[in-house]
A and B are shown apart, each in its own frame.
Chain A
Amino acid sequence: MKTLKLIFIIFLIFSLNYLKANETDLQNKITKNLRCLICQGQSVYDSDSDFAISLKLVVKKKINDGLSEKEIYDFLTEKYGEWILYDPKFNKNTYILWFLPLLIFLGGAIVFKKLINIKK
């Protein structure tokens, strides 16, 4: 039962990533994931600042040039650094960021098992 639950959860995490990939408007999707560097806590998509307007054009042009979503992110990270991406990349800098919460959840499962008398 427990493993079933775990598999279920892992499956959901993956399907969530998948959910994003099918969105029709690629440009909106990309600009929603970009930080407007001169604003305070706004995405490029949500902002009307000069920076955001020019970046929207850049993204549009890159899409027209046939670049994939990942290639556009790579291009922008090279230019502005990872700071611009709201969805942190999965690499050695961010292993802890992604895994620590999940480890804490598993730790909770161990505590739960110790605490509760499952036998009826």
Chain B
Amino acid sequence: MLSSVIGYYSLIFGSFISLVIIFFSVQNFKNSKILDSKILLFSFLQLVLVFVSFLCLIISFVNSDFSNETVFNNSHTTKPLFYKITGTWGNHEGSLLLWLLVLTLFIFIFLVKSKSQLKKYRILTVIFQQVIIIGFFTFLIKTSNPFNYLFPIPKEGLGLNPILQDPALAIHPPILYLGYVGSSIIFSSALAATTVNYINNNWASHIKSWVLTSWIFLTLGILLGSIWAYYELGWGGFWFWDPVENVSLMPWLALTTLLHCILVLEKRSLFKSWIIILSIATFALSMCGTFLVRSGILNSVHTFANDPERGLFILFFLFLLISISILIFLVFHKSDNKKLSPIFFLSKETSIVINNWFMMYFLSVVLIGTVYPIFLEAISSQKISVGPPFYNKLLIPFLIPFLIFMAIGPRLRWIKSELKDKLSLVALLIISVLFSFLIVRNFNTNYLLNSILIGSAFYLFFITVQDFFIKKNKRFSQNIAHFGFSLLILSILLNSIFSTEIITNLKVGESYIEDDLKIEFKDLDKENKKNYISFTGTFYIKDKSSNNILNPELRIYNQPNIITSEADIKITLMQDNFITINSVKNEDYFNVRYLVKPFMLWIWISVLLVSLGGLISLFNKKYEK
């Protein structure tokens, strides 16, 4: 009760501080040479207020204070403490408050970290960021107040969707938001730099840290979401080209493009306009993600509460921001075409242009695939689905040249370069393809495509491994990221080709036997837990090489009343053994799904390696100086 009041007024005061900051910023912009310390002070105060507000919401959740509407809608007294806390951001209002918290946190960090930059540029970044912050304050207070009061006070809450009661999913939103919101700093900063004509190599080195930071968090956020989907949704997949997955992938693709492009700006002062456009696009795509997920246009586990008013607000706000940024771009940006230095074919610049070219294509496939059905339905009221087959057809063929360029590109130098050992490069490519052919020939009908595809992934793999041994390798971070990516593509491809699956119906005591494999359904135990009843099966699984006991579980949650199926997975270095059970209505047998999925662990490890590359780059400023 009290915490709701404090939380609400913290929010109101916090929003007023935005106006104060903008007032001082405008005053400071022309007057003095140094940045007014009041701006820093009030930014800190705003951060504290939003933090207090967020803390108050957590306290309301922990105390199960059902006079708070958000708590009532999303919590329950029997929920474990951990999920009471993480439930704070497992809903629309709370997650937006978290978003706002990160916004205020980042602008404060930006102010502290950018002391060596131009004063006018810093002030303008603060102003642009405060415009976004005001937008989110208004959105929160007007349409999604987390502190709405309920009377009479309900005795019990409605509970949190059980499939969201999960450790990976508890930290997935905050990590992802750090990535999304990081792109807002890049956006504000790019606009500010455009206004004061500060898009240069100095700015590039400074903003690169922000690009890297957002990129690392976004990568890890997507990884966590995939891991969760893999073990929680019960079908053993980790990516389904679902619209909500796509909206997180799109800013990632834009950010990855920007990350590569910013290097060219840093070294050669090229592509200024393109970098501004990419910075705007990355943030716009992050906002679009929020819009599509929150507006209820997409239906999924992520669409907490759907309210057309909210969708409209975000759409309007997004439209406003994009208009402002285009205006700024057109008015202030002076393109310096005249003194453009030529780009030679064999150079690092070319390889980065090729990267941008392909990345933009991948982005357009995902964007069109996600948005097109929505437009088609609006125009002709025809509903179509765009699923994995569409993306596979349009993406996979282009992945082959992409991987090859990704292997060779980093070996080129800036401005003008020569490719050494052309013969050995070609020879290695042929070896990779032949090697892949040996792997796939017994298992798949389409040798040719799979050999070339896996071959090009192996090619990237071998080249990056080779690069690790080059003396005085100054691009270790890039090397490890590309190596991780080759490992990722390899694991995904081999996993999809070599996965096997058995679906059968079994009663307790029955066995399923096929060739060398025996699945025995030994036992079923019932146990009452705090907020659910658990049925745990015991399965003895025997195959050629191993004996495993696996315990998949069915949970019947009390509030809300939902059955979830918890997979049991035996994880080893080379493969995962995955089993789930599901009850079948009016039958006494269970639907059993047993999967053997090779290289699963490597998919996760390789994504970690890719982000590690980013992390090393973030802390190693000496890149090719």
Is B388 within 8 A of A86, CB to CB?
A: yes
CB A70 to nearest CB in B, in angstroms, measures: 14
Is A88 within 8 A of B384, CB to CB?
A: yes
Q: Which residue of B345, B449, B585 is within 8 Å of A15 (Cβ)?
A: B449
Is A93 within 8 A of B376, CB to CB?
A: yes
User: Whole-angstrom distance between the alpha carbons of A33 and B391 in the complex?
Assistant: 13
Q: Which residue of A82, A94, A117 is within 8 Å of B343 (Cβ)?
A: A117
CB B444 to nearest CB in A, in angstroms, measures: 8
A residues in contact with B23, CB < 8 Å: none
User: Whole-angstrom distance between the alpha carbons of A15 and B450 in the complex?
Assistant: 10
Q: Which residue of B342, B365, B388 is within 8 Å of A101 (Cβ)?
A: B365
**Chain B residue at minimum C-beta to C-beta distance from A102:** B394
What is the 8 Å Cβ interface bit string for chain A, positions 12-52, against chain B (1 contact, 0 not)?
11011111101100000000010100001111001110100
Is A16 within 8 A of B449, CB to CB?
A: yes
**Chain B residue at minimum C-beta to C-beta distance from A111:** B357
What is the 8 Å Cβ interface bit string for chain B, positions 359-382, against chain A (1 contact, 0 not)?
011001100110010001000101
Is B445 within 8 A of A19, CB to CB?
A: yes
Q: B residues 145-161 with Cβ under 8 Å of A?
A: none
B residues in contact with A85, CB < 8 Å: 384-385
Given contacts A16-B393, A86-B388, contact A48 B376 (CB under 8 A): no
A97 beta carbon closer than 8 Å to chain B:
yes
B3 beta carbon closer than 8 Å to chain A:
no
Is B382 within 8 A of A93, CB to CB?
A: yes
Q: How many A-B residue pairs have CB under 8 A?
A: 136
Is B386 within 8 A of A88, CB to CB?
A: yes
B residues in contact with A102, CB < 8 Å: 394
CB B614 to nearest CB in A, in angstroms, measures: 25
B508 beta carbon closer than 8 Å to chain A:
no
A residues in contact with B358, CB < 8 Å: 108
B392 beta carbon closer than 8 Å to chain A:
yes
Q: Which residue of A19, A86, A108 is within 8 Å of B361 (Cβ)?
A: A108
Is A81 within 8 A of B383, CB to CB?
A: yes
B residues in contact with A86, CB < 8 Å: 385-390
Given contacts A41-B240, A85-B385, contact A115 B449 (CB under 8 A): no
A112 beta carbon closer than 8 Å to chain B:
yes
Is B385 within 8 A of A50, CB to CB?
A: no
What is the 8 Å Cβ interface bit string for chain A, positions 103-120, against chain B (1 contact, 0 not)?
011001101100111111
B44 beta carbon closer than 8 Å to chain A:
no
B398 beta carbon closer than 8 Å to chain A:
yes
Is B387 within 8 A of A101, CB to CB?
A: no
User: Whole-angstrom distance between the alpha carbons of A79 and B240 in the complex?
Assistant: 25
CB A18 to nearest CB in B, in angstroms, measures: 7
What is the 8 Å Cβ interface bit string for chain B, positions 431-449, against chain A (1 contact, 0 not)?
0000000000000011011
CB A113 to nearest CB in B, in angstroms, measures: 11
Q: B residues 538-580 with Cβ under 8 Å of A?
A: none
B residues in contact with A20, CB < 8 Å: 389
Is A16 within 8 A of B392, CB to CB?
A: yes
B residues in contact with A72, CB < 8 Å: none
The count of residues in chain B whose C-beta lies closer than 8 Å to any C-beta of chain A is 57
Given contacts A46-B235, A112-B354, A118-B345, contact A15 B446 (CB under 8 A): yes
B residues in contact with A120, CB < 8 Å: 344-346
What is the 8 Å Cβ interface bit string for chain B, positions 226-269, against chain A (1 contact, 0 not)?
00000001110100101110000000000000000000000000
User: Whole-angstrom distance between the alpha carbons of A30 and B340 in the complex?
Assistant: 54
B residues in contact with A81, CB < 8 Å: 383
Is A112 within 8 A of B445, CB to CB?
A: no
Is A93 within 8 A of B357, CB to CB?
A: no
Q: B residues 203-239 with Cβ under 8 Å of A?
A: 233-235, 237
Is B446 within 8 A of A18, CB to CB?
A: yes
B397 beta carbon closer than 8 Å to chain A:
yes
Is B299 within 8 A of A40, CB to CB?
A: yes
A76 beta carbon closer than 8 Å to chain B:
no
Is A12 within 8 A of B397, CB to CB?
A: yes
Given contacts A19-B445, A112-B353, A120-B346, contact A87 B387 (CB under 8 A): yes
A63 beta carbon closer than 8 Å to chain B:
no
Given contacts A15-B449, A112-B354, A115-B353, contact A82 B345 (CB under 8 A): no
B residues in contact with A84, CB < 8 Å: 385
CB B233 to nearest CB in A, in angstroms, measures: 7
User: Whole-angstrom distance between the alpha carbons of A17 and B389 in the complex?
Assistant: 9
Is A48 within 8 A of B361, CB to CB?
A: no
CB A58 to nearest CB in B, in angstroms, measures: 17
A75 beta carbon closer than 8 Å to chain B:
no
B350 beta carbon closer than 8 Å to chain A:
yes
Is B350 within 8 A of A108, CB to CB?
A: no
User: Whole-angstrom distance between the alpha carbons of A102 and B350 in the complex?
Assistant: 21
Is A87 within 8 A of B390, CB to CB?
A: yes
A residues in contact with B397, CB < 8 Å: 9, 12-13, 16
Is A12 within 8 A of B449, CB to CB?
A: yes
**Chain B residue at minimum C-beta to C-beta distance from A103:** B364
Is A46 within 8 A of B237, CB to CB?
A: yes
CB B85 to nearest CB in A, in angstroms, measures: 26
- A-contacting residues of B (Cβ < 8 Å)? 233-235, 237, 240, 242-244, 299-301, 342-346, 350, 353-354, 357-358, 360-361, 364-365, 368-369, 372, 376, 380, 382-390, 392-394, 396-398, 400-401, 445-446, 448-450, 452, 582, 584-585, 591
Q: Which 10 A-B pairs have the closest CB atoms?
A: A86-B387, A87-B389, A46-B235, A19-B446, A41-B242, A22-B445, A12-B397, A83-B383, A108-B357, A48-B582
